[in-house]
Every structure is written in C-alpha cells, then in structure tokens.
C-alpha cells in the first residue's frame, strides 16, 4: 500500500506547544511516528556555565511554566542534598502544600485541554475556571500565578499563616465538591467513553519496558509513584498510588481525576499534621560552595522527574540535567500511535499529557 507522511505540528491542532511528529500512514492507519523536537530547545542546562548556583533555581523554575514550583523545589533540594543542608521543618511542609496544589492545578489544566481535544469545550471552561481558584491561592501565598520563585536553597521565602492554611483547606474542600460534579461527567458521559475507551492501550509490560512514568504508567497498572520513596516529607502522609488497570486513554483520564481528589486529601492531611504556630523558621542560611553530585527524584504531575547535579566547589555547577517525565513517556507514546487511525492520534498524544518545554529545555 502507498505510504504517506503527514507532519503533525509544529503549530498544533491540539497542543499549544510545538511538538512535531512525522506520521507515516498507510491509508488512515498510522504505521510509524518519528519525533522531532528542538522548537523550544533553549539550551537551559548549559546556562549553569553562566549563572551561579544560587540563581540557577530561578532558571530551573522556567523549565516549564506548569510544573514551575516543582522544578524550583527539585533544584533546591538537589543543592541541599549536596551541601548537607537541613531544611527547617516548616519549610518542608510548606513545599509539599505548594507541590500538591501544583498537581491539582496541572491536572485541571490537562483535564481541560483534554476535553477540548475530544470536543467538549464546555468542560474545558469548567476545568479552567476551577484551576483559577488554585491560582488564586498561589497568588495570595506567593504573589505569582505561574512562576512563584518561592523556593530558596535552604528553605522557602514565604510562610503561610496558620489561619490562612485553614482557609486553604476549606477552599479546597469546597472545590472538591464542585470537582465531583465534573468528575461525574468525565466518568459517565457516553461520548467521552466512546472517544477514549479502548483507544491507545498500553499494557503493563510495555509500559515498563518503555520506561513510562507517572499517570501514564499508573493507568497501565504499575504502582510507580516517586512519592512512595518517602523523601521530601511524603513519609509523613498517608496515601496509596492511584492505579487503574485499563491502560487506555480513558484510564489515563481516570487516574488524573482521582489524583486531583488525592491531592486535595493530601493537603488536608498536611494542614492537619503540620506543627502549628506562626513565626517558625522557614529558611536555613546556606554558606559555602557545593561540591559533589546527586540524583534527585520527585513526582511531578506528569510523573517522575530526575535531576542530576554535579558541583565542583565553585560557584558554577559542572552539570545540571533534568530528565522530565514527558521525555520518559515519549517512547511509549510513539509505540501507542502505531496501528491507530489518524483521527485518534490527537487523543493519544494528549492523554500522555506532553509538556514539550520540559522535554527540550
């Protein structure tokens, strides 16, 4: 049969970001997909040559505007690990509050984009309206909506007052009730099921072989969640990773729906268990220069991120590397689109929740 190559992107029908896939088609069926990236490649990792380690965190935050907080947190935690800095108790709890809020924000954003892609614009608007409430909390607590720069090496820049934390928990409880209505639509709407159920099935074995991470892996029945390591303070919270068995597009939606609910619960736990009292220390002063290397893992909304930092006792790091979750999920995505109709490709791409600026850096 005659083969046609259809370039998908860079100016994209489904994503605001320029991902390019050359789809090799036989009739309407995709037989292969070849990725090209580089439209957003900035050379961010090489900036360690010019930016001092104390300021590099601000660059790391701009790896991606969706997981911005988590990138800053990962960078600071890596340096803290190398230098053996003890982060104050309060700061560790606060970081987790912002981290879990980021997860809710990111999943709501994705649920919106997803529904837009399968033709449900109304749902898109609802998801993004809820997302604005999370951004409100960010703005009230950090001053920024997207990029907060609230992480410092050795702690955080701002405290959240106890009363405010209680307020956040209350707002999230109310949000959770409204979210339940939306979740019901995702779970029950026949047109959504029609588009997603049974499409793009990734069996557990393949997910493991392809190195899939995050909701992508969990939707295929793998209980991998970097939070289970118990690092960053997650050992003080009770949770089970959200796992679905289906492995299809629908399962990936369901995992994210449940993770929103999970994060709301985690924040409630955080607020309940956090040692009370305003005016606790939130930052350890850091002196000296880092020397050594570390691998640091963190569970971002899209899955496991791995930072590798190598310092050599100067102000400038020798190497900074961020292996972001989308980078790990692209091979699985490519094997998924093979054998599907062209019209299903957007949904499959979208359900891995690709973040291209993370991938290319």
Partner 1 sequence: MSFFRRSPWILHYDGSSCNGCDIEVLACLTPLYDVERFGVVNTGNPKHADILLVTGSVNERNVEIVENLYRQMPDPKVVVAVGACACSGGIFARAYNVQGGIDRVVPVDVYVPGCAARPERIIDGVVQGIAALEGKRAAMAAGRRRGALRPQSGSQPAGAA
Partner 2 sequence: MDGERFLARVAAYRADGWRLSVINTTAVLPSDELPQGAFDISWSFALGTRLEHLRERVVPGEEVPSVSPSFPSAFLYENEMRELFGVDVTGIAVDLRGQLYRTATRVPFSPGAIRRRLEATGRLGDGARHAAKPQPRPTTEAGA
Stretch that binds partner 1, among 16-24, 83-91, 157-165, 189-197 (CB under 8 A): 16-24
Asked if 65 touches ligand SF4 (CB under 6 A), the answer is yes
How many Å apart are CA 14 and CA 115, to the nearest integer? 11
How many Å apart are CA 112 and CA 110, to the nearest integer? 5
Cβ atoms 304, 185 nearer than 8 A: no
Listed in sequence order, the residues at least 6 apart from 93 whose beta carbon sits closer than 8 Å to its beta carbon are 233, 270, 274, 275
CB of 208 to partner 2, least distance (A): 6
How many Å apart are CA 19 and CA 147, to the nearest integer? 23
- Which one, 191 or 314, has the nearer CB to partner 2? 314
113, 208, 237, 342: which one binds partner 2 (CB under 8 A)? 208
46, 125, 140, 174: which one binds partner 2 (CB under 8 A)? 46
Q: Which strand ranges, in their side-by-side order, compose the sheet holding 20-26?
A: 3-8, 20-26, 29-36
- Which one, 77 or 192, has the nearer CB to partner 2? 77
* Structure token digits, residue 328: 């790990």
Under rule CB under 8 A, which residues in 212-231 are in contact with partner 2? 224, 228-231
Phi (first) and psi of residue 323, to 5 degrees: -95, 105
Q: Around Cβ 274, how many Cβ atoms within 10 Å?
A: 20
CB of 340 to partner 1, least distance (A): 23
Stretch that binds partner 1, among 61-69, 209-217, 247-255, 319-327 (CB under 8 A): 61-69
How many Å apart are CA 255 and CA 240, to the nearest integer? 12
Asked if 78 touches partner 1 (CB under 8 A), the answer is no
* Structure token digits, residue 335: 């094997």
CB of 65 to ligand SF4, least distance (A): 5
> If DSSP codes are grouped into helix, strand and coil, which group holds residue 299?
strand
How many Å apart are CA 96 and CA 293, to the nearest integer? 24
Which stretches of the chain bind ligand SF4, using CB under 6 A?
Answer: 62, 65, 147
Which stretches of the chain bind partner 1, using CB under 8 A?
Answer: 10-11, 13, 16-18, 38-44, 46-47, 50-51, 58-59, 62-66, 68, 109, 112, 124-125, 128-129, 132, 144-147, 355, 357, 360
Which stretches of the chain bind partner 2, using CB under 8 A?
Answer: 34-38, 41, 43, 45-46, 49-50, 77-78, 80-81, 87, 92, 208-211, 224, 228-233, 292-297, 304, 306, 308, 310, 312-314, 316, 318-319, 321, 323, 327-328, 330-332, 360
């Amino acid at each position: 049969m005659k083969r046609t190559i259809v370039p998908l992107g860079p100016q994209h029908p489904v994503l605001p970001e320029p991902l390019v896939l050359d789809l090799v088609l036989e009739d309407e069926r995709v037989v292969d997909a070849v990725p090209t990236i580089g439209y957003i490649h900035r050379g961010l990792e090489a900036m360690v040559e010019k930016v001092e380690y104390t300021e590099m965190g601000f660059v790391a935050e701009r790896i991606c505007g969706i997981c911005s907080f988590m990138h800053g947190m990962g960078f600071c935690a890596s340096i803290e690990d190398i230098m053996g800095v003890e982060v104050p108790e309060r700061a560790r709890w606060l970081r987790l509050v912002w981290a879990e809020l980021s997860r809710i924000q990111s999943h709501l954003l994705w649920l919106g984009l997803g529904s837009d892609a399968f033709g449900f614009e109304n749902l898109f608007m609802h998801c993004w309206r809820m997302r604005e409430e999370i951004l409100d909390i960010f703005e009230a607590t950090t001053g920024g909506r997207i990029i907060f720069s609230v992480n410092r090496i050795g702690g955080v820049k701002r405290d959240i007052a106890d009363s405010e934390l209680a307020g956040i928990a209350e707002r999230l409880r109310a949000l959770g009730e409204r979210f339940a209505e939306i979740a019901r639509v995702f779970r029950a709407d026949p047109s959504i099921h029609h588009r997603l159920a049974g499409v793009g099935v990734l069996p557990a074995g393949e997910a493991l072989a392809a190195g899939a991470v995050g909701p992508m892996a969990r939707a295929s029945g793998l209980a991998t969640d970097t939070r289970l390591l118990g690092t960053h303070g997650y050992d003080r919270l009770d949770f089970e990773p959200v796992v679905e068995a289906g492995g299809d597009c629908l399962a990936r939606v369901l995992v994210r729906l449940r993770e929103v609910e999970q994060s709301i619960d985690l924040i409630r736990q955080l607020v309940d268990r956090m040692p009370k009292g305003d005016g606790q220390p939130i930052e350890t002063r850091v002196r000296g220069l880092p020397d050594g290397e570390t691998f640091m893992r963190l569970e971002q909304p899209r899955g496991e991120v791995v930072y590798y930092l190598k310092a050599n006792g100067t102000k400038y790091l020798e190497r900074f590397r961020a292996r972001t979750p989308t980078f790990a999920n692209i091979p699985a995505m490519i094997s998924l689109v093979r054998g599907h109709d062209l019209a299903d490709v957007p949904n499959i791409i979208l359900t891995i929740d690709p973040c291209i600026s993370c991938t290319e850096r």
